[in-house]
């Protein structure tokens, strides 16, 4: 979503009046459905969290780019964590045998894009920044159910 916003803003700021007009029109339509974090489809965000390349850190990284109010961002992140855990426990309750299986998490390599390619491509710029953040935070965290419950109850 942040990438789409970046591309639309580039169109709006371009010197081409037609591109600026189209970009403005598209941005208005985009804002109607995606501007407010609270109105976003939570299941799309759950899909991002489930992606082993991104996990919850991706949501934590991009929410502040979409919403300036830090309190709203924190509340939305907590809501996403709670929803994710709710779905997880529903899954565990529905099929305990399958829930015991473990999966290996992998971290994708960071490509070293050129400064020009990052500048020209909003998605590449966003992904480059995000991957740097992942490396800094060393995001490979494995938590058992007890730790997750404790975190949810006392967070």
Collect contacts of 1-10 with beta carbons under 8 A, ≥24 apart. 1/34, 1/40, 1/62, 1/66, 2/62, 2/65, 2/66, 2/122, 2/126, 3/122, 3/123, 3/126, 4/30, 4/34, 5/30, 5/65, 5/66, 6/122, 6/123, 6/125, 6/126, 7/122, 10/122
Higher per-residue confidence, 39 vs 18: 18
pLDDT tens by residue, 92-150 = 788 766 656 533 333 444 555 555 555 567 878 888 887 777 776 654 444 555 456 55
Domain limits, the chain: 1-35, 37-105+140-154
Mean pLDDT across 28-50 = 81
Mean pLDDT of the chain: 75
pLDDT tens by residue, 52-69 = 788 888 888 888 887 888
Lowest mean pLDDT among 38-42, 58-62, 78-82: 38-42
Residue 121's pLDDT is 76
Residue 139's pLDDT is 42
Mean pLDDT across 16-31 = 91
Higher per-residue confidence, 154 vs 43: 43
The pLDDT of residue 83 is above 70: yes
Residue 92's pLDDT is 76
**CB-based contact 30:4 (threshold 8 Å):** yes
The pLDDT of residue 154 is above 90: no
Higher per-residue confidence, 141 vs 49: 49
- Which secondary structure element, helix H or strand E, spans residue 61, and what is its range? helix 55-66
Angle formed at CA 138 by CA 112 and CA 115, multiple of 5 degrees: 20
| CA distances, 29 to each of 5, 8, 10 (Å) | 11, 11, 16
Distance CA(116)–CA(12), nearest Å, equals 20
């Amino acid at each position: 979503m942040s990438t789409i916003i970046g591309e639309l803003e580039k169109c709006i700021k371009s010197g081409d009046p037609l591109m600026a007009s189209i970009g403005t029109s598209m941005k208005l339509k985009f804002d109607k459905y995606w501007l407010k974090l609270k109105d976003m489809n939570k299941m799309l965000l759950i899909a991002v969290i489930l992606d082993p390349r991104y996990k919850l850190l991706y949501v934590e990284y991009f929410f502040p780019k979409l919403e300036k109010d830090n309190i709203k961002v924190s509340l939305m992140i907590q809501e996403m964590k709670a929803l994710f855990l709710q779905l997880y426990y529903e899954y565990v309750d529905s099929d305990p045998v399958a829930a015991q299986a473990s999966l290996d998490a992998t971290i994708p390599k960071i490509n070293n894009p050129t400064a020009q390619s990052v500048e020209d491509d909003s998605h590449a710029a966003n992904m480059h920044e995000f991957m740097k953040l992942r490396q800094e935070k060393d995001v490979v965290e494995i938590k058992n159910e007890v730790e997750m419950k404790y975190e949810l109850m006392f967070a």
